[in-house]
Chain A
Amino acid sequence: MAVTTTTKITMPLTLIFRAICARCVFLLLAIGLSLPAQADSRNLAPGFGDLPKGATILVMPPDVELFSISAGGVSEPKADWTEAANTHIHGALEKKSSSLGLMTRELSEKDADDLAEINTLHAAVARSIALHHMSGGNFALPTKDGKLDWSLGNAVQPIREKSGADYALFIWVRDSYASSERKVAMFALALFGVGITGGMQTGYASLVDLRTGQVMWFNKLLRGTGDLRDEESANETVKTLLAQFPESK
């Protein structure tokens, strides 16, 4: 089990990304932490404002992991928290879509298996959007001209064929919580002027038009607060994640 994660340590996606992650992502962290999760026109593709009423959204199986951080900083996966989070996210999404008059559909595991390549493709695009579009000006791509302008093109056709939906919603969340020992450690270290993270909530949500492959709406989350473990706080997190989600008319 352990060794399979070795490759995740050398997680950079390309030659350069390896270098980025070693240093600059900390930078991102610094920027991200200082900026609240802002929702504005950056979240929407140009010219896209509303979802047509009656549109169907396919909710791709959310990729969610919740961890607990022990005193020494070991991240430990928490299945019960993750399961609870999945339930809450699911519930919040349902509420959201019914309030918008939208229909949701879900993908079976078998279908998700078949669509694996498109999923991995979307994940790569989402990471670029998060880095180059949502993270303040530092990494903005001049050719995108400040716009949310990414499209998966006809790669999404198989999703549309399988589901008949008009849009697909992708959700990815990684969330960690300081255990009580960790909180004690934080307090102790703070006395010596050393700051360590208590826990971070990071994730994105992305809405893709299945007719064109265009990413119509995107939101990124990166903060030191938020809780997906209990229903009320989870609803708040989902609300933040889905901030500026297009209305339906």
Chain B
Amino acid sequence: MNKMFLIALALFVAGCATVKKVESGSNMVSEHLSINIEGNWNHLDFPGIKPAQVWTMEGVTVDEFLIYSGIQGGQVMHPENASSSKLKNFVFRSAMQTEEIVSLLEGVLSRDNSTFKLLKLEPYPFGGKKGFRFEYERIRKVDNVQLRGIGFGAVDKGELYALLYHAPRLTFFPRHQARVEAIAKTALIR
């Protein structure tokens, strides 16, 4: 306990967590992925997030917008997250087909024992590449909240680009879905 307090204070000084505003307009999420957003978002940065970025509108316990940009073959999804809780590692492989990538993302989202149900999977020109779009339902294990989600993805030059958004199926997912679909439409992978 004492040790943890010291860590906490150290992190406090170091500024372990930040929330930044993401402004409306064109956004270079990373070197190779750009998106266009209408209206501001909140970008949360925490240890254990990598290799994703996390944005939110209503708060970390309500909705979550995950941005994966340029995940390389052999890269582990959320390694710090996994190691701290001794959970399964999910590794992206460059040769993965769409259905395998969806399974990968399914696995990552089920890691905390939340349920996952795929509602729809269809082709989608994500980022200007041949990609996919899917819809899903989840029940979050820790607090029983029932979520709806959408995902978009494509592989370019062996690297994975994906967007995932989920929020409670009551009120919040319907509220923000259209904006996320719009963002996905504007995505460009260079």
Q: Are B54 and A16 in contact (CB under 8 A)?
A: yes
Chain B contacts to A: CB under 8 angstroms: 1-2, 4-5, 7-9, 11-12, 16-17, 19-21, 39-42, 44, 46-49, 52, 54, 56-62, 64, 66, 78, 80-81, 84-85, 108, 111-113, 140-146, 168, 170-172, 175
Main secondary structure of the interface of A (DSSP, over half): helix
Residues 100-141 of A at the B interface (beta carbon under 8 Å): 117-118, 120-121, 123-125, 127-129, 131-132, 138-141
Chain A contacts to B: CB under 8 angstroms: 7-8, 10-20, 22-24, 26-27, 29-31, 73, 117-118, 120-121, 123-125, 127-129, 131-132, 138-143, 150-155, 194-197, 213
The closest CB in chain A to the CB of B12 belongs to A27
Q: Given A125-B62, A131-B59, do A23 and B142 touch, yes or no (CB 8 Å)?
A: no
Which residue in B42, B143, B171 is a CB contact (below 8 Å) of A120? B143
The closest CB in chain B to the CB of A8 belongs to B142
B106 CB to nearest A CB, Å:
14
Highest count of chain B CB atoms <10 Å: which of A24, A73, A123, A196: A24
Q: Given A143-B42, A153-B171, do A131 and B60 touch, yes or no (CB 8 Å)?
A: yes
Q: Which residues of A contact B12 (CB under 8 A)?
A: 27, 30-31
Q: Are A26 and B48 in contact (CB under 8 A)?
A: no
CA of A26 to CA of B85, assembled, Å: 17
Q: Are B56 and A141 in contact (CB under 8 A)?
A: yes
Q: Are B59 and A24 in contact (CB under 8 A)?
A: no
CA of A120 to CA of B47, assembled, Å: 27
B109 CB to nearest A CB, Å:
8
Q: Are B145 and A121 in contact (CB under 8 A)?
A: yes
CA of A139 to CA of B59, assembled, Å: 9
CA of A29 to CA of B42, assembled, Å: 23
CA of A219 to CA of B144, assembled, Å: 24
Q: Are A23 and B8 in contact (CB under 8 A)?
A: yes
Q: Are B80 and A17 in contact (CB under 8 A)?
A: no
CA of A17 to CA of B64, assembled, Å: 11
Q: Are B57 and A143 in contact (CB under 8 A)?
A: yes
B20 CB to nearest A CB, Å:
7
CA of A120 to CA of B84, assembled, Å: 27
Which residue in B7, B20, B61, B80 is a CB contact (below 8 Å) of A13? B61
Q: Which residues of A contact B168 (CB under 8 A)?
A: 121, 124
Q: Given A128-B61, A141-B56, A196-B2, do A24 and B142 touch, yes or no (CB 8 Å)?
A: no
Q: Which residues of B contact A30 (CB under 8 A)?
A: 5, 8-9, 12
Highest count of chain B CB atoms <10 Å: which of A22, A151, A213: A22
Q: Which residues of A contact B84 (CB under 8 A)?
A: 18-19, 22
The closest CB in chain A to the CB of B16 belongs to A24
CA of A30 to CA of B170, assembled, Å: 34
Q: Which residues of B contact A14 (CB under 8 A)?
A: 60-61, 64, 140
A43 CB to nearest B CB, Å:
17
Q: Are A141 and B19 in contact (CB under 8 A)?
A: yes
A-B contact pairs, 6 of them (CB 8 A): A7-B113, A26-B4, A26-B7, A124-B143, A138-B19, A194-B2
Q: Are A141 and B42 in contact (CB under 8 A)?
A: yes
Q: Which residues of A contact B9 (CB under 8 A)?
A: 27, 30
Which residue in B40, B49, B142, B172 is a CB contact (below 8 Å) of A143? B40
CA of A13 to CA of B7, assembled, Å: 22
- What are the 8 tightest A-B residue pairs by CB atom distance, in nearest-first order? A128-B59, A19-B48, A26-B8, A142-B21, A153-B171, A155-B170, A127-B61, A141-B42
Highest count of chain B CB atoms <10 Å: which of A23, A127, A129, A155: A23
Q: Given A73-B1, A118-B170, A121-B168, do A23 and B143 touch, yes or no (CB 8 Å)?
A: no
A42 CB to nearest B CB, Å:
15
Q: Are B61 and A27 in contact (CB under 8 A)?
A: no
Q: Are A24 and B146 in contact (CB under 8 A)?
A: no
Q: Are B48 and A124 in contact (CB under 8 A)?
A: no
Q: Which residues of B contact A124 (CB under 8 A)?
A: 61-62, 143, 145, 168
